Structure 1
Amino acid sequence: MEFLRPARWEEALAAKAEHPGAVPIAGGTDVMVEINFDQRRPEQLLDLNRVTELHEWETGEEEVALGACVPYTRIIEDLRRELPGLALAAHTVGSPQIRNRGSVGGNLGAASPAGDSHPPLLTAGAEVEAESVRGSRRIPVEDFFTGVKRNALADDELIKRVHIKKASGPQQFSKIGTRNAMVIAVCGFSVALHPESRSVRAAVGSAAPTPFRALAAEDFLGAALEEEGLWDSGGALPPSVTKEFAGLCSAACNPIDDVRGSAAYRRHAVGVMARRTLGWVWDDYRGGAGSGAGRAAGDEGGSRCA
């Protein structure tokens, strides 16, 4: 196995162009597990740790440009106000050691249906900036996942940044696993309120071949909030609305049976998570009078497991 170690981004792109089969590695939290268990044996590993710009981020007026190698710990500590849903999801990733090494770019590259960062990226409205020696492009995260552990990157492309819209309202995330910590999600769920556009985004992980947005549930809830005048009043959600939203999220799933859970359990769990997570995010909206991003990770309330 050849170990490629570029010092600059341009060198990394050139190496990827010359060796399209080279597997990028930074934290190694997914790749090294597969290598250690002999599930993968690439001819080249492309170490990106010396490429400085991949470990940086920029906060603009409307979005955060997150370097592909920024670790989860930095998101939790430094970006929880701008990206509260992603920070909550980052809290649930592995152990502190894994959060210090793992990154959103690596999570996207692995493209696992169970990736913890994927639902909040979908609800926040993210775009993946991919680049090669041929040029760069931005891929909406909805179009990035093409199958189980497959993504839309060309063979010579690398993820440079993830562009994520800053929260304009409350965001929440929940996760179910076979234990309370250091576990791959049986299911993940994220919901975000966008008061300015009076819209809702809801996304599910580990309940279909790819992470996905529950579009019918989003449309229903957005219309219900408008019809009931709840965007303005901040009143309590009618139980019938919560129940229908949860049912639509559950119905959107296309899960499988595996060692972590059955398809039937996943459908049921997503409905429970949707109901609970909607309650949390609506409480945040009512508490902030609809204007803020609600409680962020690390504030009172912290991350939650359904």
Structure 2
Amino acid sequence: MEFLRPASLADALAAKAANPGAVPIAGGTDVMVEINFDHRRPESLLDLGRVPELHEHGTDDGRIRIGAAVPYARIIADLGARLPGLAMAARTVGSPQIRNRGSVGGNLGAASPAGDAHPALLAAGAEVEIASVRGTRIVAAKDFYTGVKRNVLEPDELVTGVLLAPATGPQQFSKIGTRNAMVIAVAAFGLALHPEQRRAGTGIGSAAPTPRRALEAEEFLAGELDWDSPKPLNDSVKRRFGDLVAAAAAPIDDVRGSAAYRRHALGVMARRTLTWAWTEYCGGSAKCA
């Protein structure tokens, strides 16, 4: 197995163009597990650990740009206040050691339906920055996933970053598994309130061939939430929202859970996250709980 180790983004893109089959590796939390268990044997590995451009975060035209290799631990510490939903999801990723190595870029590259970052990215309306020697393009997160562990990347392309607007309203993330962290999600759900757009964003994980939004649930909330004069949500609104989120999923039965259990769990998580987020939007007062 050939080991490629570029020292700059330009070198990394050139190496990927010359070796389209090279598998990118940064933290190695997914790729090395597959290699160690002999589930994958690539001809070459493209180590991105020394590419400084991928380990930086900053602002780009008012949005936050997170380099593809910025570890979850730094997202939590540096960006938690501005990207609370993504930080919540990051806190459920593995152990402290994994959070110091794993990254959102790695989650996107793997494109697993169970990736913890995906629901938060979808709910927040994130965009994925993709680059090659041919140039850079931006793809909405909702259009990035094409199938089970498949995405829109061409053979010569790399995920170089993620773009998100700073949160303007409450965001929530919920995940269910045998325990809260260090486990693959049986189902996960992300919710983001966007008061300036008068809408809510959603993200479903580990309950369909790809991460996806619950569009009918979002449209339903748009007609139910009073952004200017917040008032308590009726239980019927929460139940309907949960039902629509569950209906948007397409789960399967597997060793971690049944399809029926996943649908039920998504409905519960949707109701709970909506309650938490709306209560926060109301200022945490009891009248909005």
Q: TM-score, normalised by structure 1?
A: 0.91
Name the structure 1 match of 2:271: 275
1:66-107 CA distances to partner (integer Å, 9 max, x unpaired)? 000000000100101111100000000000000000000000
Name the structure 1 match of 2:63: 63
Q: Indicate whether 1:170 and 2:170 are aligned.
A: yes
CA RMSD of aligned residues (A): 1.1
- Paired AA for residue 241 in structure 1: V
Name the structure 2 match of 1:90: 90
Name the structure 2 match of 1:185: 185
Counterpart of 1:41 in 2: which secondary structure? coil
Q: 1:269 Cα shift? A: 0.6
Structure 1 alignment gaps of length 5 or more: 290-306
- Paired AA for residue 63 in structure 2: E
Moved over 2 A (4+): 59-62
1:171-230 CA distances to partner (integer Å, 9 max, x unpaired)? 0000001223210000010111111111111111011000000000000011111xxxx2
1:115, 1:62 → 2: CA distance? 27
Name the structure 2 match of 1:223: 223
Name the structure 1 match of 2:211: 211
Q: 1:243 Cα shift? A: 0.6
2:104, 2:243 → 1: CA distance? 30
1:260-306 CA distances to partner (integer Å, 9 max, x unpaired)? 001111011100110111111111111169xxxxxxxxxxxxxxxxx
1:180, 1:91 → 2: CA distance? 9
Name the structure 2 match of 1:39: 39
2:84, 2:61 → 1: CA distance? 16
2:71, 2:42 → 1: CA distance? 24
Name the structure 2 match of 1:80: 80
Q: 1:161 Cα shift? A: 1.0
2:165, 2:114 → 1: CA distance? 22
Structure 2 alignment gaps of length 5 or more: none
Name the structure 2 match of 1:141: 141
Q: 1:61 Cα shift? A: 6.0
Q: Indicate whether 1:232 and 2:237 are aligned.
A: no
Counterpart of 1:213 in 2: which secondary structure? coil
Q: How many residues align?
A: 285
Counterpart of 2:218 in 1: which secondary structure? helix
Counterpart of 2:173 in 1: which secondary structure? strand
1:60, 1:43 → 2: CA distance? 36
Name the structure 2 match of 1:298: none
Name the structure 2 match of 1:294: none
Counterpart of 1:107 in 2: which secondary structure? helix
1:268, 1:43 → 2: CA distance? 42
Name the structure 2 match of 1:300: none
Name the structure 2 match of 1:302: none
Counterpart of 1:53 in 2: which secondary structure? helix
1:62, 1:250 → 2: CA distance? 34
Q: 1:62 Cα shift? A: 2.9
1:180, 1:151 → 2: CA distance? 27
1:261, 1:288 → 2: CA distance? 34
Counterpart of 1:287 in 2: which secondary structure? coil
Q: TM-score, normalised by structure 2?
A: 0.97
